[in-house]
Chain A
Amino acid sequence: MSRNRVLTGSRAMVEAIAQEMRVDPTVFVMGEDVGPYGGIFSSTTGLLDEFGEERVRDTPISETAFIGAGVGAAMAGMRPIVELMFVDFFGVCMDAIYNLAAKNTYFSGGNSKVPMVLMTATGGGYSDAGQHSQTLHATFAHLPGMKVVAPSNAYDAKGLMTSAIRDDAPVLYMFHKGLQGLAWMAAPEGASTEVPEDPYAIPFGEARVVREGGDVTIVAISMTVHHALAAAEALAKDGVDAEVIDLRSLVPLDREAVLASVRKTGRLVVADEDYRSFGLTAEIIASVAETDPGLLKSAPRRVACPDIPIPYSRPMERFALPDAEKIRAAVQQTLNRAVA
């Protein structure tokens, strides 16, 4: 019988990786500081001890080398998990990601596959400035050929990681540092959850309704799910009943879950820690509008990071990043400014 324990996001990720490594010898891990250090964000803690350095490989400091090598190894029949320490550093290795991992299957006429997991840390809120705090969901979701997931809690972290490893497509697994349960970065209540010991997989493209409500739909992902829940609690005191949807994956996108909720509420707020312009928030609103523009009773609202590099200064960063207050204000706007 499977036991449930409360785990942090990072413990849940490591458990999924270890369980797959035990049953599948093709799974191995590569990256910077993933060995004795156990990952800067504890995403590989303990793996070296159990599986040894052939399968848990610290690499030279070259993302071009180890992500490119990950693509090659995946095409050779392995299931590599490679870690890009901060998503902000994708610039030095992007070709391996979007021209190789994402396109090799297509251009080989479907004759090759790239079952690689690229896990990477996202998000701000800890005064580390704009080259260590970006979220960049849309940057990757925009590019065809990769699946893109972003868990908001430990239960999903494990289930989505298991699916990512088993998937034959390249999967970008984007975890928010603030949800990992790290000693130096407080996680919101609800990030650590009960997690079954037995392996389980959460299918991609299935959003989850984390709070039911009839007045307004708040679509969120990763860290903004927690902001949205806090906003919903505050709104409940004002007599507003908000529904909160955790998308969990961007690609594939569970458009139907969003539509079903908006059909019910008629009002929509989308919250994402990524930049506002050309992003997930716009995509969700567009997908509702183009499916049935009559669903919305008021103008939809988005809450996201302004189109600026994220600043270090604590007060400035606080102003810039999405939070529960901003989501609450956006919801109020959808309620007040009804489109006649």
Chain B
Amino acid sequence: MYAPSSVDAPRIHTPDFITESALTIPIYGMLGEDGRPYEGADPSGVAKEIVLAMHDAAVFTRLLDERMVAAQRQGRLSFYLTATGEEAATVGSAAGLEPDDMILPQYREQGALRYRGFTAAQFMDQLFATEDDLGKGRQMPVHYGSRALSYMTVSSPLATQIPQAAGYAYGQKLAGEGRCSICYFGEGAASEGDFHAALNMAAVIRCPVIFFCRNNGYAISTPVSEQYAGDGVAARGVGYGVRSIRVDGNDFLAVYLATQEARRQAVSEGVPVLIEAMTYRLGAHSTSDDPSGYRSRKEEEAWQRFDPIARIRAFMEAQGWWDAERDEALRQGYRDEILAAMKTAEAKPAPSLARLIEDVYAAPPWNLTEQYEALREQVRANPDAYPKTAGRIE
């Protein structure tokens, strides 16, 4: 590589500018649309248990998403956001990691969290802000977090997790325990300054971090054609000196193998790696969004045939690992479990009022104590004006 000032750089004698087409990035894919491996693609490196586990987590996530969108429509919770169509990207990448590698999510990565073992009850406790929620009912729906599962609590402002991931990974490298971090973000978030700042720094100071872009075609209503003029996100990595690959994001095997290899390089060489997973957001951005104003039904339907779950299922069936009966049993089991967990969560008490002022600081300073006392007094004087927190205001 030539430094800009290198005296050895070859010289040209006409003012020729390099265009983005000088670098054409291929897409790494293992399985075709029909679930059959491409010629020259060898899936034998992916163990049967891994494939079944990925499929399992993806099916759970799909069913959870379907159920919660319905619940939101019924007014049972304020907000929800699906990962429909992106399960291979999130689950496949999580499968390519070690369980204690750190995950810094954007917000659409429930599949990765599920792969790590987050239970139906834990999802519901967060979504319904019960007293058992790990985040104590504070963060908005879908903004999960689990210290036990090395999943950083989601933060709403876009792309702010990317520099943090570089730093987290740098810390892991200094600790010398052979771990790395993965940082998820959308192609929209990759336009934020934080993306660029983080990639450059991670490359320069050598952080073992996997930057994982879910390129799902949209940032709310903004299509990629209005998001960037260059060749997607992968091309940028090259400019920063970050090894980069573009993957078929609806192909579990390709995502899994690419992430596994990225992890190997990140940890063994102490470098950042960028993966751009090409996928499609099959659902609305969130329950607050209606995509019919900015994209056609036809376009959505065209993408249905790339459904990652259907593709991996076809692969599993061809291997003799799966059949319709097992599929239905899995789905029915999860439907029942999810519904039961939702009902349980809805019946649980909300966190107690005292939790309002905990964790702002290690110990509440006088202003918080006074404000809390005033609130308690307010509730005591007007018990009917305020909701119950299981009668545990005292």
Contacts and interface: CB of A to CB of B under 8 A. Distances in A.
A311 B381 contact: no
B102 to A, nearest CB: 21
A306 to B, nearest CB: 4
Contact of B353 (A59, A126, A319): A319
Contact of A58 (B129, B156, B226): B226
Contact of A33 (B220, B356, B357, B375): B220
Nearest to B351: A313
B219 interface: yes
A316 B137 contact: yes
Contacts of B367: 276-277, 307
* A33, A65, A89: most-surrounded residue (chain B CB, <10 A): A33
Interface string B14-51: 00000000000000000000000000000000000000
B360 A307 contact: yes
A306 B193 contact: no
A291 B188 CA distance: 50
Interface stretch (B115-123, B251-259, B385-393): B385-393
Interface stretch (A111-119, A129-137, A148-156, A192-200): A129-137
Contacts of B350: 313-316
A58 B387 contact: no
A140 B131 CA distance: 35
A263 interface: no
B140 A128 contact: yes
B378 A60 contact: no
Interface in A290-322: 306-309, 311-316, 318-320
B294 to A, nearest CB: 5
A64 interface: yes
B360 A329 contact: no
B387 A309 contact: no
Contacts of B355: 316
Given A36-B221, A311-B356, A314-B350, A61 B78 contact: no
Interface stretch (B81-89, B157-165, B202-210, B317-325): B157-165
B356 A89 contact: no
A130 B153 CA distance: 13
A268 B309 CA distance: 62
A318 B371 contact: no
B189 interface: yes
A316 B351 contact: yes
A313 B79 contact: no
Contacts of A132: 140, 156
Contacts of B105: none
B138 A130 contact: yes
A31 B155 CA distance: 21
Contact of B222 (A58, A277, A316, A326): A58
Contact of B220 (A37, A62, A65, A309): A37
Interface string A30-58: 00110111101000000000000000001
Nearest to B190: A61
A127 interface: yes
Contact of B158 (A59, A61, A65): A61
Given A311-B137, A325-B382, A128 B79 contact: yes
A121 B8 CA distance: 54
A128 to B, nearest CB: 5
Which of A61, A184, A307, A318 has the largest number of chain B CB atoms within 10 A? A61
Contacts, number: 150
B140 A306 contact: no
Consensus secondary structure, chain A interface: loop
Contacts of B227: 60-61
B137 A128 contact: no
A83 to B, nearest CB: 13
Nearest to B141: A312
Given A62-B192, A127-B78, A129-B139, A91 B160 contact: yes
A312 B129 CA distance: 7
A91 B45 CA distance: 45
Nearest to B365: A307
Contacts of A131: 140, 155-157
A308 B193 contact: no
B368 interface: yes
A35 B223 CA distance: 12
A92 interface: yes
Given A126-B78, A325-B385, A36 B294 contact: yes
B379 A319 contact: yes
B140 A312 contact: yes
Contacts of A315: 350, 353, 386-389
Contacts of A254: none
A58 B221 contact: yes
Interface string B285-303: 0001000011000000000
12 contacts: A63-B192, A92-B157, A92-B192, A127-B77, A129-B139, A307-B367, A312-B129, A312-B137, A314-B129, A316-B353, A319-B356, A329-B382
Top 7 nearest A-B pairs by Cβ distance?
A313-B137, A129-B140, A131-B156, A127-B78, A313-B129, A315-B387, A60-B191
Given A61-B189, A316-B356, 15 more contacts: A37-B293, A60-B191, A61-B219, A61-B227, A62-B191, A62-B193, A91-B157, A126-B78, A129-B139, A129-B156, A307-B367, A313-B351, A316-B129, A316-B137, A325-B385
